Structures are given as structure tokens and as C-alpha cells.
Chains A and B, each alone.
Chain A
Amino acid sequence: MKSQTEASARGDSRRGWLHKLGIGGLLAGVTGMGYAFVRALVPNVLYEAPQRFKAGTPDQFPEGATFLEDQRVFIVREQRTFHAISAACTHLGCTVKMVSLNQPKKVAIGGREVEETREFHCPCHGSKYYGDGTNFAGPAPKPLACYRVELAPEDGQLMVNLDEPVSRGFRLTV
């Protein structure tokens, strides 16, 4: 009688163990599948334009700002210096439009008096930026980003790196 209950108790514990294993296996299988399905939606390769690109040789750029549509960036030439200003509005990412001023305008940026010949205006929510990218009107929270410009060693083209923001004072002298 006693051995019988022991046996059944053993059976119960064996069944309990099996129960846990079974449930565990089941859950593991379902979780694994679920993870696989979600993981499949995280891309491993991207079909996107490279962030570092060659824009052309310096002498192809006229004085002032040249807009590169594909990369949404202005290449600004001031005599022999070059810099790149992003055309993506810092508010919500629309492409700002360059507006050339009829009269050079004297403005104070960061306490310094600067003469501006162009501004950038955003068509979406009316943000406005001075020629150097400083925001002065509308909802834009900060100035337009500037990116590193360098000369490609192999062919002397301007190389813009959209992955590397630089300070607004950055200039490449050619």
C-alpha cells in the first residue's frame, strides 16, 4: 500500500517534470518562431545612397551656394574656401529653399555682425535660416547641420561625408 503511493508519487513527480519540459519546449518553439519572424524585418543590407560621396572638382563650383538635389546639401564656395550645409530643415526634415537677398543684409549672429547675401526658408512650417545656417525664425530648434568636406586624394574631387557633422566654422581651403 505504502509502496504503491510512493510509486504513484514518483509517477506524479515524473509527470510534473515532463509537464514542465513539455510546456518549456512548446514555449521555446513558439518564442523562437516569433523572434525569427520579427528578426526577419530588421534589414541586414540596405539599398541606400552612400553617405560619403564625390561632388565634383572645386573649380566646377561657382561662388556662392550650389544645391545638390540628390544629397540635399548646399556646397558653399567663398573664394577659395568650401563648406557643406545640409538642406534638411532641423524642425521636421523638409528641404529648405535658398533665397538670394536683393540687398546684403547686416545681421547679428552670436553677437557678431555679419553681412548676409542669402537665406534659407523652409516651405513646410516657415522656419528661416541665415546664410551660415543659423535659425532665426519659425519653429526650427537649431541651425542647419554642416558636414565635413575634404579633397579626395586620388582625383582631387570634393568629398562630402554626410555621416560626419562638423562645427559651423568648418571651412576647407583649396
Chain B
Amino acid sequence: MAAQNKIWRQLTWTWKPASERDAGDAVVRNLLLHWFPAKVTIGSLSFRYSFWLGTISAVLFGILCITGVPLMFLYVPSVERAYQSVKDIEFVVSFGWFIRALHRLSAHLMVAVVFLHMVRVFFTGAYKNGTAANQARPVNWVIGVAMMLATFFLSFTGYLLPWDQLAYWAVTVGTNIASAAPLVGDKIRFLLLGGNQIEQNTLLRFYVLHCFFLPAFVLFLFLWHMWRVRKDGGLASVDKLSLEQKRQTLPPVKSKTYSLLGITKGRTVHVETALVNEDEHTVNSSPFLTRRILMVTLATVAVICLLALLVATPLEEAANPRVTPNPAKAPWYFLWLQELVTDTTVKLGDFTINGALIGGILVPGLLIALLAVWPWLDKSPVQAVGVWFAAQRRRQNLVFLGILVVVLALTVVGTFLRGPYWLFFWPWEAWPEMPGPF
């Protein structure tokens, strides 16, 4: 009985703790909550500071993993059967259309939300170390960038699986961009495709990447990401709070370190965090943080469900290597690249540089490299940490915003303003009617 109780308490907790001790107990004893701090600042819970974009990304990743399991049972990764099995999922599997819609929409939304999360962290200067000891936020930022790239690649590998026209030609374009890389490009393409043509090898490679390696990679990075957040003393807004307190020059708070384990076991492990007035600015993680997480989870699920009911999941004609659809568009999050490779083929006399190299490799490569090293180039003072649009970071924020606007503009052009033959069409201009057999 006692043993059962113990197990039970490792998995459940009370939503209504009667005391501080109860609240702390939940976090300390519980398997599911143990990675949370015992207390969290009210500012960290605010929607206006973080928009909870990281949590939403994690929830979307969770939905993708959960919906991915039944889809793995239903999908056949063979060029002869893949398309048919997706048709079956759409038409004859009970709830198949719903599960596929949830999966696809979560994937699209995850790309967007992960990107927005990155934008938020940049604008709040949250990749910078604050005042507490042993912080390494720049490392976490790099982990985040890696996760964002993994998310793109996850989305892209998932795109091929239905083996329809959309998939086939998106992969053709995507892997040809990879082949534009100098020296190793062709080898990368050969390795990605498992040959020179998009065939069974390609499908199986993308399938295994999509279902195992990439999710495992993201999961590993996610755990690391969360661990670093804890090590860094929570969100960057906490650093800002402690800085403000110092300015208020209240009677100096007794230098106190607390730790998760410290609450119950005394001061064993020191986790040094920014110092904030606990009584005034913090609440117990259980139930206030856990409840918000539940709220955000439910809201995300609700939105995805609603979208699943409203947005039809496309499935084009079966892949046909003999006919390129017109226009052949990559998934929307790559359309800024597709637009960029269209516009960046450079001619210098007789010398031509393919846009695939400039727009497809150099520009995005440079942007990613810049992103990765930026925390070390950003020399703004500590006052700019955890603050939206800090005055000390105005110039870099403006440059970042500029790049953002360009990427967004290119995406919009690629998505909405390009028609057959990649010609420019205003939204009010009708595309020429595409021919059919009859």
C-alpha cells in the first residue's frame, strides 16, 4: 500500500496545495514536474513577455509525435503504395483524415511558431547572459537555432512522404538547391536521394529521417534546451527583475541560494540564480505554472482541432516524373528561398553564378551563421537583457527587423503573388486556367 502510494505520488500531484510545503513537494517528488523550479516569477508567466511560443512549439512537437504513431501504422513507405496508403488514410480509415490534418497543421504551425520564438528571443535580447553566475544563454540560443533547422528539415522530409506531385517536385527543387553547394553539393544530393533520381531509396531515407532520426535529435536538443533554461535561472525577464530590484536599493536581500533539492534536503546543491524578492514577485510552480502549461496545451490543441475541421488537407495527383506541375511551389516556409533563387542568378560577362548557390546556399548559410554567432557579437549592456526592443539594442533590432521584413516579403510574394511559370500575379489577377484532359 505504501509502495503504491509512493508510485502514485511520483506521477500525480495536487492542483490545490494547502501549503508552501505541499506546493514544493509536488515539484520535488513528481516525475513529470521535477524539471520545473519550485517557484517562478509572475513575469515569466506573463503572456505579453514570451507569448509562450516555446511551450507552444513543444506542445506542437508533442501532437506531432502522438499523431505520428498511428500514421506510421497506416502509411507504407514504398513508391508503389505510399500514395495509395495516404488516399486510404483520407478516405477509408476512421478518423484518418483528422489525424493526418492534425499532423500536417501542427507541422506547419510548428515551423511558424519556432520561428516566432526565435524572433521573440532576439527582440528581447534573451540570448544574453544576465547577472547570475554560470549562465550560458548563448549556448542555449545555438541549441535553439539547431532545433529550428531540424524543424525545417522535419517538415521538409514529411512533405515528401505522400508521394504526390507537390511532394515530388518540392523535393526535386529542394535537393537541387543542396546540390548547388560548392564541391560537396552533388555528393550531398546523391546521399540524400540515395541515387541520382528521386526513387524508392529517397522515399525510404526521408521516411527514416522523418520518423526516427530527426525527432530523436529534436527531443534530445529540447531536453538540453530546457535543462539550460533551468541552469540559466529561468527566462531572461528574471534577470531584468533582479536588476530593477538592485536599482531600488532595498535593504540588501540576504544572499540566499535555493535549489530544488535544497527545499527539502537542506543546502546541498547550489543553483545560483538572479536574486528576486520571492514573496513579492514569485508564485509556486504548482499549480500556477503547471496550470498555465495545461492552458496553453489545451489552447494549442483546440486551435489545431479547429483548423483541422476548417482547412482541407491537400493531396495532389500521384507523383509523375514526366510532368512538372505549373507552378511547382515548395512548402510556404521555403518560398522565400525559392523566390530568392529565382532572383539571384548573377551574370558577370560570360560568367554566370546560379541563383541556387547565392540564394539557396550563400544567403541562407550566411544568415544562419550570423544567427549562431550573434550572441557573441552583441556587446550591449546587461540592462538590455529580457527587455522588448531595448534602447541599447535598437540598431541590431532594426537590422534584424529589416531582414525579417525581407524574408517575410519574399515569402508573401512566393506564396501569393507567383503563378504559372513563376510569373508575377497581383492577388486580384486571375491565374490562367490550367488545362485538364477533358
Instruction: Indicate if A touches B (C-beta under 8 A).
Output: yes
Report the stretch among A35-43, A82-90, A94-102, A158-166 that lies at the interface.
A35-43
> What are the nearest 4 A-B pairs in CB distance?
A36-B95, A39-B94, A40-B95, A40-B70
- Residues of chain A whose beta carbon lies under 8 Å from any beta carbon of chain B: 26, 29, 36-37, 39-45
A36, B412: Cα distance in complex, Å: 36
8 contacts between A and B (CB under 8 A): A37-B66, A39-B94, A39-B95, A40-B74, A40-B93, A40-B94, A41-B70, A41-B73
Known A26-B298, A37-B70; contact A42-B94, beta-carbon cutoff 8 A: yes
Cβ–Cβ < 8 Å partners of B60 in chain A: none
Cβ–Cβ < 8 Å partners of B93 in chain A: 40, 43-44
Do A44 and B95 touch (CB < 8 A)? no
Do B73 and A45 touch (CB < 8 A)? no
A39, B298: Cα distance in complex, Å: 22
Do B298 and A40 touch (CB < 8 A)? no
Known A45-B88, A45-B92; contact A36-B73, beta-carbon cutoff 8 A: no
Report the minimum CB–CB distance from A21 to chain B (whole Å): 14
Report the minimum CB–CB distance from B230 to chain A (whole Å): 28
- Residues of chain B whose beta carbon lies under 8 Å from any beta carbon of chain A: 66-67, 69-70, 73-74, 88, 92-96, 98-99, 298, 301
A40, B67: Cα distance in complex, Å: 11
Do B99 and A37 touch (CB < 8 A)? yes
Cβ–Cβ < 8 Å partners of A37 in chain B: 66-67, 69-70, 95, 99
Report the minimum CB–CB distance from B146 to chain A (whole Å): 30
Cβ–Cβ < 8 Å partners of B94 in chain A: 36, 39-40, 42, 44
A26, B299: Cα distance in complex, Å: 12
Using A36-B95, A37-B67 as known contacts, list a sample of 14 further A-B pairs with CB atoms less than 8 Å apart, ordered by residue number in A. Answer: A29-B301, A36-B94, A36-B98, A36-B99, A37-B66, A37-B95, A40-B74, A40-B93, A40-B96, A41-B70, A41-B73, A41-B74, A43-B93, A45-B88
Cβ–Cβ < 8 Å partners of B92 in chain A: 44-45
Cβ–Cβ < 8 Å partners of A41 in chain B: 70, 73-74
A156, B301: Cα distance in complex, Å: 60
A1, B94: Cα distance in complex, Å: 58
Report the minimum CB–CB distance from A36 to chain B (whole Å): 4
Nearest chain-B residue to A34 (Cβ)? B66
Report the minimum CB–CB distance from B103 to chain A (whole Å): 11
Cβ–Cβ < 8 Å partners of B95 in chain A: 36-37, 39-40
Cβ–Cβ < 8 Å partners of B301 in chain A: 29
Report the minimum CB–CB distance from B63 to chain A (whole Å): 10
Cβ–Cβ < 8 Å partners of B69 in chain A: 37
